[in-house]
Amino acid sequence: MKRYICFTGGAQAETRDTDVAIIGSGLAGMYAAYHLNPSLRRVVFTKNTLETSSSSLAQGGIAAVTERDDNFTLHFEDTIKAGAGLCNPAAVRVIVEEGPAEINELIKLGANFDLDSEGRLLTTREGGHGMNRILHAGGDATGLEMVRTLEKTVKGMPNVLIRENAFVSDVITDEYGVRGLMSFEDGRWILYRTNHVIIATGGLGQIYRYTTNPVVATGDGFALALRAGAELADMEFIQFHPTALYTKESRNTQCFLISEAVRGEGGILLNEAGERFMKGRHPLAELAPRDIVAREIYREIQKQKLPYVLLDITSKSKDFLVKRFPTIYNTCLSHGIDMAKDPIPVGPVQHFMMGGVKTDLWGRTNIDGLLACGETACTGVHGANRLASNSTLECLVFGRRCANTINSGFKKRGGGVPVPCDTDCAGTVAGTEEKIIDLKGIMVKYCGIVRNADDLSRGIERVREMLCGIESACLKGVREMELYNMATVALQVLLSAYARKESVGAHYRIDQERL
């Protein structure tokens, strides 16, 4: 594995200084930026526009105890149960008990959550939750509302620099810890010297053929952390969301999510024969944990001709659906589906990474000065399977905790930092896009919803062959660097999935537990 992938080609890199560097502009990264000491200079890097992140796409909402008949113990127990016994209890207590305060903070900043007729926070229920505790905004635009609120706030703060279209290739380290990072901006390399880096780059969905993740989710944060010497954990635990809109156009790009909240509001799943198949498969039926619903849908698809099942919420009126799910309703309508009259064709797709860069409960990795939060991080809070709408809560709680870690232990930068460069490379990568498409096919075929040793072994072999072909090449563009990151991370997922022999949570080994 390359230590550094930046290739300057002998060109001089500009050097800049900052107190804190935040890689990623989603909910976790922006909330960390907001909570940092205002006197600290901070740079937020995003490789696309500020608005492009998985956080902005979060439809269902954010889970938090706000109702009188709910409590921390119930939320804790639901999270532990969904995580199949592998959650870190301490991490679960942190998000459950600190979450409501973060909701109140967002409201103070101007976030408009949906309210009932009496002006109280409106809640609903999603899969795996025993109580109504999912807050939402704009019906099904919760993530967008939270991100917009934070963007407006952070942009107005002093000492904040936003770098859009900036691809961070490497975190620079020495024997003492973090010394800086390399960013590729407008066709040139820039070295940012800093002792504090927060990785909040989101997930890795684009290593799969079908995913709800945006096209920027190429696993960069996992890869650059690994190259810097950080530990990864639980990489086998990939969550497949049960219900994404089935369209041929979404292949190899991004699938449109049909929120779990649709089932929470009464939507039922039907096979091609019109049979409601989740009834009797689990006590919670359509509201069972995501891994269970996804596998049951997979089973039905394997037994029928149609490559999808049907999500039927025609029991609700058009007025209700338009108000509660405006984004979903209009998107379905654009595909010729009136969800007030027609069932929605859906199927399971990659959605979330439970594992990631291993951190403690304050966002710290094993590398001094390197922190991680949000989907990129692994505190163990999700165990083997994430409970619905706990991800947005995780972003807020651990984003703030990362900021608090730096605020209380800030180290002023000192000394020079050499510009790293992949000086041992030769030649270029041929057929980058073809290789990316091939990688997606490998992952969906050999490391999907249902896995076995033979497939995983073959997947490992195929990805290693791909990496061998690009390991010695000079990565001269963003897409080539993304390919290297994607293949690096895909190999980690495959190796972890192969190593865990038993089926647990989202990791399902058919050779250990027959369908």
- 370-390 confidence digits (pLDDT tens): 999 999 999 999 999 999 899
* Torsion sign (Cα): 375, 380, 383, 389: negative
Average pLDDT over residues 325-346: 96
Average pLDDT over residues 475-498: 97
Beta strand ranges found along 85-187 (DSSP E): 123-124, 134-135, 160-163, 166-174, 177-185
- The pLDDT value recorded for residue 388 is 87
Whether 336 shows a pLDDT value over 80: the answer reads yes
Residues near 68 by beta carbon (within 8 Å), at least 6 away in sequence:
none
Q: What type of residue sits at position 132?
A: N
Q: Which of 179, 290, 400, 401 is catalytic?
A: 290
Q: Which of the given ranges, 33-37, 53-57, 245-249, has the highest pLDDT on average? A: 33-37
- The pLDDT value recorded for residue 251 is 84
Whether 127 shows a pLDDT value over 90: the answer reads no
- The pLDDT value recorded for residue 514 is 45
- 264 φψ region: left (φ > 0), alpha (ψ -120 to 50), beta (else): alpha
Whether 117 shows a pLDDT value over 90: the answer reads no
CA angle 444, 447, 451 (to 5 degrees): 125
- The pLDDT value recorded for residue 172 is 97
- The pLDDT value recorded for residue 165 is 96
Percent of the chain with pLDDT over 90: 85
Whether 515 shows a pLDDT value over 60: the answer reads no
- The pLDDT value recorded for residue 212 is 92
**Cα atoms in the 13 Å half-sphere on the side-chain side of 308:** 15
What is the set of domains in the chain, with CATH numbers?
14-237+352-409 (3.50.50.60), 246-347 (3.90.700.10)
**Cα atoms in the 13 Å half-sphere on the side-chain side of 18:** 27
- The pLDDT value recorded for residue 413 is 76
Phi, psi at 24, each rounded to 5°: 120, 135
- At 2, is the pLDDT very low, low, confident or very high (cuts 50, 70, 90)? very high
- The pLDDT value recorded for residue 412 is 85
- 150-194 confidence digits (pLDDT tens): 999 999 999 999 999 999 999 999 999 999 999 999 999 999 999
Task: Please give the Cα distance from 309 to 270 (Å, whole number).
Answer: 6
**Taking the complete model, does pTM exceed 0.85, yes or no?**
yes
Catalytic site includes residue 290: yes
Whether 468 shows a pLDDT value over 90: the answer reads yes
* Mean pLDDT, the chain, whole residue set: 93
Whether 414 shows a pLDDT value over 60: the answer reads yes
Average pLDDT over residues 279-300: 91
